[in-house]
Amino acid sequence: MACAFEQLSPDELALACQRARRDRGLVVLEGLHALKHALRFGAVVEGAWTADAAALTALAERLCPDLLAKLGALVRPVPAALFGQLAPQPIATGVLAIARRPGLDLAPLLARIDGPPLLLLDQPSHPGNLGAVVRVAAAAGAAGVLTLGGQDPWQPAALRGGAGLQFALPVQMLASLPESPRPLVALDPAGAPLAPGSIPDGAILALGSERQGLRPELLARATLRLAIPMTAAVSSLNLATAAAIALYSWRFAQQ
């Protein structure tokens, strides 16, 4: 697997990694979990680096032995001081990579009216929690994850939270939700109680932030409002927890 950064000097490589964090065509993968899922789901990885190749190999032997050959060909050892420049925050699993952000044709995704729900996150506030939603969505077999607001689901913190599973399903940030024949289902405390079978196939399942909930304009577009039953005096659920409950409610109803 060729490395696009192979011929760069240490200073050039450090600068290239800084630029990659701002490049909307690239993503920075921090840690082995993010890198292994990127590779398993067909990401184009431009380069990867570690300060301790032996430790990384030992970890990969335990966590992803299927990828040992790919990792061996891809990951380049660098001095610890340089790795510290590439990774401003410590990375427990000791590897950093740069990959191409996959393109997404949104029109066919929005046009489909059957199958698993498509998640819509309205103004999520925490990138790690946003990544955790992506991880849940990939596990539950959601059709994809769309976000509205300023948090990019491909930023490094979200990729850490999602363990790189952004590559497993369509994921994209939107300025607004286009018109779609999919039914828009809002998770809202004033809705009917959520139960297996209450989320229709092909739905766009909209979740708001824990603090603000869904914006009025999205609630007005919803064809159905559903509420997760909770014990009295409990005010809200973590966004990823709410997404998991809703997605598995749909999934269990299919069995």
The predicted-structure confidence for 163-199, as pLDDT tens digits, reads as follows 999 999 999 999 999 999 999 999 999 999 999 999 9
Arithmetic mean of pLDDT, 60-86: 96
Assign 2 a pLDDT band (cuts: 50, 70, 90): very low
Does the domain formed by 106-253 have CATH 3.90.1170.50? no
- pLDDT beyond 80 at 211: no
Q: How far apart are CA 182 and CA 94, in angstroms?
A: 42
Strand partners, 205: 119, 185
Q: How far is CA 22 from CA 67, 89, 197, in A?
A: 28, 16, 42
- The token pair at 129 is 């929690």
Judge if 10-100 and 106-253 fold alike in CATH terms: no
pLDDT in tens, 107-142: 999 999 999 999 999 999 899 999 999 999 999 999
Q: Report helix angle 53-63 to 32-40, nearest 10.
A: 60
The average confidence (pLDDT) of the chain is 93
Continuous segment of H or E residues that includes residue 250: helix 239-253
DSSP percent split of the chain into helix, strand, coil, nearest 5: 40, 20, 40
- pLDDT beyond 60 at 203: yes
The pTM assigned to this predicted structure is: 0.93
In b/e form, how buried is each residue of 104-130, taking b as 16+ CB within 10 angstroms?
eeeeebbeeeeebbbbbbbbbebbebb
- CB half-sphere exposure, 92, CA atoms < 13 A: 3
Instruction: Kindly state the percentage of the chain with pLDDT values over 70.
Output: 98
For the chain, domain boundaries: 10-100, 106-253
pLDDT in tens, 139-151: 999 999 999 997 9
Does the domain formed by 10-100 have CATH 3.30.1330.30? yes
Q: What is the pLDDT of residue 4?
A: 63
The amino acid that residue 193 corresponds to is: P
